Amino acid sequence: MCAVSFLNLSVFALGGEMKDVDGATGKQNRIEIKDFAFNPKTITVKAGEKITWINRDEEPHTVVSVEKQFKKSTALDTDQEFTITAGTPGTYTYYCSVHPKMTGTIVVEK
Domains annotated for the chain, with CATH where assigned, are: 27-109 (2.60.40.420)
- The pLDDT, as a whole number, for residue 26 is 54
Q: Are 72 and 62 in contact (CB under 8 A)?
A: yes
- The pLDDT, as a whole number, for residue 9 is 38
**Distance, CA of 37 to CA of 41 (rounded, Å):** 8
Tell me which H or E stretch contains 19: helix 2-23
- The pLDDT, as a whole number, for residue 40 is 98
What pTM value is reported for the model?
0.76
- The pLDDT, as a whole number, for residue 22 is 34
- 44: CB partners within 8 A, 6+ apart: 106, 107, 108, 109
- The pLDDT, as a whole number, for residue 28 is 85
- The pLDDT, as a whole number, for residue 82 is 98
**Distance, CA of 81 to CA of 73 (rounded, Å):** 9
- Profile the chain (110 residues) by mean pLDDT over runs of 10 residues: 41 31 60 98 97 98 96 98 97 98 97
**Distance, CA of 37 to CA of 103 (rounded, Å):** 7
**Distance, CA of 6 to CA of 16 (rounded, Å):** 15
Chain centroid to CA 19: 18
